[in-house]
Structure 1
Amino acid sequence: MEIILAKSAGFCFGVDRALKKVYDGLGNEPIYTYGPIIHNTQVVEELASKGVKVIHDLSELGHLPHGKVVIRSHGISKNEQDLISSSGFGMIEATCPYVKTIHKCVEKASKKGHHIIIVGNKNHPEVTGIKGWCQQPVYIIEDITQIDEIPFDSNIVYEVVAQTTFNLGLYQEILIRLQKLNFHVIINETICKATQERQKEALEIAKNVDVMLVIGSKHSSNTIKLYEICKEQCEHTYHIESIEEFELKVLNGHSVIGITAGASTPKKLIKEVISNVRNAE
């Protein structure tokens, strides 16, 4: 049995950076993460064992001992940032630099009076954070059909940004449609290069294997997109969070297995999957 592992599988720069900031922040004062630091239960539980507490609403700070709040790689809105700053809590800024660039982009565009089009999942924390840096009307879309719902005005300039982990192929389709409209639309390329490389590599591997395994949380946006991309190329594609939930007998009769993983998947988890797949031969 041949196993093809994506070189890009596992932690991305932003996630790796955020985790390092959490561990570096461990000390005498309490550490809180605003939302799970990454979409991986094992990592979150390990941090909890070291005293790191996850908060889901900033109102919780009013009932907690003062300490430091870690801003995860998804980033937060300006109002949330200001609220933490004024609460008496310290702040560990772990927003992915690529996401921070988008915040600055939409803030600058808003000050010019431009309206903002965000291509992404409206419920994803990265997208809600981006929206929170806009001072003009914001339109959030995640497929081509939703373009028709935007009330375009020839007197307004529109600026487009994308969630950093959005499906690159779909984003390009949306951009082509927007460029055909008779309105002033400024396009910003904001899908991070690591995401682009991860998606392209997964697509190429999926084309040439019998079975494709995509490892990562079912709540991870970038992992879900990897699964969707691979499924289009390989019928036998499986999205798994750990090897325990995968029936290894599925591999019977197949000779080439592809493996990739989302940006929040630890290398230890990837190695466990590879080891079990090898032992299934």
Structure 2
Amino acid sequence: MTILLARSAGFCFGVKRATRMAFEAAESHDGICSLGPIIHSPQLVEKLEEKGVVVVDAVADIPEGAVIIRSHGVTSGELREINARNLEVVDATCPFVKSAQDHAALLSREGYVVVLVGEGEHPEVQGILSYAENTEVFVVGAPADAEAIPRRKRLGLIAQTTQSFETLRQVADICLKKCQELRIFNTICDATSVRQEEARDIAGKAELVLVIGGFNSANTTRLAQICREIQPRTYHIETAEQLQSEWFKGIGIVGITAGASTPRWLIEDVIRGVETLSN
């Protein structure tokens, strides 16, 4: 059996940075919280918990001391609450997410109605939206959703960092017909685009594709969707324990990719699991 591994599978820059900061903070503090999980990898979050990093869901739940801000960022309101309590902050917000927040704030200040391409309930999207203050905002998860946006004089378009460029482009085409002025900031992370292109390439060559990453990870789920459109035998898994031997019967080429929040050790575990099943 031949295994095709995506070159960029696994941690992106922002996740590497956030993970490093979280482990360093755990070493230097006698107990520390993170507001929400650092990244969308339950297995890595569990390792951080073993180091003393406690995940809390609200600012009110943070004890006195220090808090880590997750890679997805937090809302402007949560940040104000944290600062009001004079908590020590370890800001692990991905720089690309921070850029999207800044662009949302800029569009708001300059009087644009903000259109955000993304998943409405995702913590990154909720955070970005909170910086678009004193303006109308519309969240669209797909081009079809953009058709419901009412006509406005000025629209400002941004995207969740893990969205596909094609979706952003299609929404932009629709928005052009709904306003006199459209301002676009491409806030999609380069790492996302690279991983999606690699996924398409591998799915076109493989007889079966494995996409490794948290089931709660938006970018991993999107990779699985992209691969499944090309190769129906695509399976989204979190760990090697979820591999099933019957998947591989008669399969000669297995493609493997992973989301930007998937640790390397999980990818290596899956590769070893596939090799074991193929023997």
Please indicate the TM-score interval, normalised by the length of the shorter structure: over 0.9
- What CA distance in whole angstroms lies between the structure 2 residues aligned with 1:182 and 1:45? 47
Match of 2:149 in 1: 150
Runs of 4 or more above 6 Å deviation: none
Tell me, in whole angstroms, the C-alpha distance in 2 between the residues paired with 1:175 and 1:212: 31
Report Cα offsets for 1:210-264 as digits up to 9, x if no partner: 0000001111000000000000000100001111112023111010100000111
What is the CA distance between 1:48 and its match in structure 2? 0.9
Q: Which moved more, 1:38-47 or 1:253-262?
A: 38-47
Tell me what 2:33 maps to.
Answer: 32
SS at match of 1:186: strand
Cα offset for 1:164? Answer: 0.3
What CA deviation, in whole Å up to 9, does each residue of 1:155-203 have, x standing for no partner? Answer: xx21100000012322222222223445311111111000000001101
Q: Aligned to 1:132, which of 124, 130, 142?
A: 130
- The yes-or-no answer on 1:119 pairing with 2:146 is no
Cα distance in structure 2, aligned partners of 1:192 and 1:45: 26
* Counterpart code for 1:5: L
Is the 2:68–2:90 Cα contact (8 Å) retained in structure 1?
Answer: yes
Match of residue 13 from structure 1: 13
2:187 corresponding residue in structure 1: 190
Contact 1:164 1:191 in 2 (8 A): yes
Matched position secondary structure for 1:280: helix
SS at match of 2:115: strand
Deviation at 1:33, TM superposition (A): 0.5
Q: 1:248 to 1:138 in 2, by over 3 A?
A: same
Task: Give the 3-state SS of the residue equivalent to 1:257 in structure 2.
Answer: strand
Deviation readout 1:97-116 (Å, 9 max, x if unpaired):
01111111111121111111
Identity of aligned residues (%): 38
Residue 153 of structure 1 deviates from its aligned partner by 2.2
In structure 2, give the amino acid aligned to 1:127: V
Range 26-35 or range 265-274, more displaced: 26-35
Q: Deviations over 1:72-126 (max 9, x none)?
A: 1111121111110111311111111011111111111211111110000000000
- Answer yes or no: is the 8 Å Cα contact 1:29–1:68 preserved in 2: no
SS in 2 for 1:259: strand
SS at match of 2:147: helix
**Where does structure 2 lack aligned partners over 5 or more consecutive residues?**
none
Amino acid at match of 1:107: A
Amino acid at match of 1:172: R
- TM-score normalised by length of structure 2: 0.95
| Residue in structure 2 matching 1:250, options 231, 247, 251 | 247
Give the number of equivalent residue pairs.
276
Higher alpha-carbon deviation: 228-237 or 178-187 = 178-187
The letter for the 2-side match of 1:13 is F
For 2:159, the equivalent position in structure 1 comes to 162
Partner of 2:152: helix, strand, or coil? Answer: coil
Deviations 1:33-90 (A, max 9, x none): 11111122221111111111000111212xx2x2211111111121111110111311
- Which range is displaced more, 247-256 or 174-183? 174-183
Structure 1 CA distance for aligned equivalents of residues 29 and 74 of structure 2 = 26
Partner residue, 2:263: 266
Q: Tell me which of 201, 205, 217 is aligned to 1:204.
A: 201
